Amino acid sequence: MANAPSDETPPQPLLEAEIERDALPEPAEPVHVEAADRRDQELTLAVVPSEVPEDPSLDDPSLYFNRELSWIDFNSRVLFQAMDERVPLLERVRFVAITANNLDEFYRKRIGGLKRQLGAGVRALSPDGRTPREQLDLSTDAALAMQRELSRLWEDELRPDLAEAGVVVREYDDLEDEEQAALDRIFRETIFPILTPLAVDSGHPFPFISNLSLSLAVTLRHPTRGTEHFARLKVPTGRGRFLEVEGTDHHVVAVEDVIANNAEELFRGMEVEGVYAFRVTRNASVDRSEEEADDLLAMISEELRERKFSEVVRLEVEHHMPERVRELLCRELNLTESEDVVEVDGLLDLSGLFSLADTDRPDLKDLPWEPVVPIRLRHMVLEDDEDMFSVIRKGDLLVHHPYESFAATTQRFIEEAAEDPKVLAIKLTLYRTSQDSPIVRALIRAAEAGKQVAALVELKARFDEENNIEWAQKLERTGAHVAYGLVGLKTHAKTTLVVREEAGGLKTYAHLGTGNYNPSTARFYTDFGLFTCREDIGEDLVGLFHFLTGYAPEQEYQSLAVAPRDLRPRFVELIRREIEHAKAGRKGRIIAKMNALDDVGIIQELYKASQAGVRVDLIIRGHTRMRPGVPGVSENVRIVSIVGRFLEHSRIYYFHNGGDPDILIGSADWMRRNLDDRVEVVLPVEDETARARLKRTLKFCLDDNRQAWDLGPDGRYSLRWPAEDEPVRAFHDTLMHRAKRRTEEDDAAWSF
């Protein structure tokens, strides 16, 4: 048994030389010129930044990319997955839906936020030197260009390719008579009873149009009086966007197409002149002062109600909608600017393609991935371990989702704690979770069993407020202690503390991670989690939860860095230490992996590090304000973005420290909101096996030649392509292969 493999089989400590920048491949020129040219022409949407003056100050606007345009560039990289013919066809369709969904959020949050700034008369310039009006104009132009490209890609490429492969999205008018009759029957039996036509006239005011709902504008004429009328139909999409054509395999018709062609059934006695699809997007930025709120739960509930009625920031219409109908919609929705109206040539609401991407055609999808169980947890019984607590006592355990199972690790840890009679208390921060959350169900069972359960439920997690309110109320009804966060701060930390009664007294066990306690997203978000029973971490978490649930603002932490008080100073200290090493002639080295980088203070510290000779590699999935490769400022900075089948969500920070590196993981990006406006937790990883694994992960990111995009000083991202004889190194494939290989080798080692 002693020869059983560990989590890394074989256990090979990673030498520092393995992650030296000099040992990594430099970004190569794209090999497939045609694909590269197409990407440059159709996906580079951001405005080229201004020319950098000689010897600029570090707050010069030319040294910063615009946040909004950088976000559009990120969504362009997502869109490219839908364009890339190396990606299976239905996965390309899924990326169209993801891109469209992202664009919806961009309008709600970013465009909506800029409009609110304009309405409030804000004149402050962004770090790149632009007014809110300039940013809104540039962002709107870029978003419109993306919408056009998205529609073109779906209508002209993917839809025909799907049809050729046997998944056919058809038009109602092109169906055979018997096929139309079958769909008409489905309409009468399953759709007609739930539709509610809403007339608009002197006795019927224009109806409220809910956010992101798909609607039909119906123009009518009275057959004898000749009067014109208008009505609105909300398209029910809760049971799917498409209806299957009877007698076919994977032939479908959009549900709004079927409704439009049966509209006369809803308006008997009237002539239906036209039916036109439209869709409304509303501002998500509804801000209230927590300081003035007596009840945070009531405040958030009211804010959710207001958001449903907030101002419209986008009206999408079919390209053939008559001008008089557009004018009516604009007038009733209080839209005055043409930029708010988006004409769509083709299917509206391409996020509806998620259901089509789920079509049962495995040959058109990625090979399925089933997360593995970490080896130490697979051998609990064979090693005479009774539970996860026994495993953790033997040493820290680092897990990486979705390569390793969330259910068999994080979820199991909380469920075992809920059932274990020796566990006295469970405390957890809950930012986002799934609709039917096994985590919350476990906490409810623990509270019902008489354990002390404390849950910090973040009611201000955008777009999850309603879900979190429901879970908070269920927990409270079982006797759990529920706190709703701190005034003025979101609690974004990912932490669980378990207090257990053991022979030597009370012992603490902890899980700290980079991602949410959400088993659904854990299947496609990449995140790290660390299980530990280190006393320093346990004591720090006890203090953290006292801070979160009570009045204890002056906590002192031994190991954890906690925002908003300690985290920014800790990162600044670590960056400046690398500068001192470089100035002393030693190697300075920083590698950081995160979702986004927009904090000007941290960027300026990194510019200073580059100027001092520190080599900086940043792996940033999303947007960044930092401009790499500027002579005299950031020539030692490289920025890479990895986009693929999984969403990169983990945060890892590496500081070389003269050969004695600090490696940290946690919930915070280098964004102002994470450092100043949220409760975040970042912890140093001390276990050597875990540290080696994190360093390997960073190396695989920087080695990637398939999914990695290099950001140039001109703001353009270039996709790496393997050279003709070079093996493909795709980050996600590499980690799936390693996880599967460890499992297979473990099975072989344990076979008798």
Active site residues: 492
Asked whether 527 and 371 are in contact (CB, 8 A), the reply is no
Dihedral, 697, 698, 699, 700 alpha carbons, nearest 10: 50
Asked whether 377 and 460 are in contact (CB, 8 A), the reply is no
Q: Give Cα 509 to chain centroid, integer Å.
A: 29
Asked whether 60 and 99 are in contact (CB, 8 A), the reply is no
The CA distance from 321 to 319, in Å, is 6
Q: Angle at CA 230, nearest 5°, toward 224 and 233?
A: 125
Closest to 170 measured CA to CA, from 258, 90, 237: 258
| DSSP 8-state secondary structure symbol assigned to residue 668 | -
Q: What number of CA atoms fall less than 13 Å from residue 512's CA on the CB side?
A: 30
The two tokens of residue 711 are 């950001």
Question: Checking DSSP bridges between strand 717-719 and strand 708-711, what pairing results, if any?
Answer: antiparallel
Q: Give Cα 108 to chain centroid, integer Å.
A: 15
Question: Which are the contacts of 447, defined by CB distance < 8 A and separation ≥ 6?
Answer: 453, 475, 478, 479, 480
The CA distance from 185 to 375, in Å, is 54
The CA distance from 739 to 242, in Å, is 37
Asked whether 459 and 466 are in contact (CB, 8 A), the reply is no
Question: Which are the contacts of 566, defined by CB distance < 8 A and separation ≥ 6?
Answer: 557
Q: What number of CA atoms fall less than 13 Å from residue 166's CA on the CB side?
A: 9
Furthest CA-CA distance within the chain? 92
Q: Which single residue is written with the structure tokens 């990883």?
A: 685
Question: Which are the contacts of 36, defined by CB distance < 8 A and separation ≥ 6?
Answer: 30, 718, 719, 721
Q: 117-144: string of b/e by CB count within 10 Å (b at 16+)?
A: beeeeeeeebbbebbbebbbebbbebbe
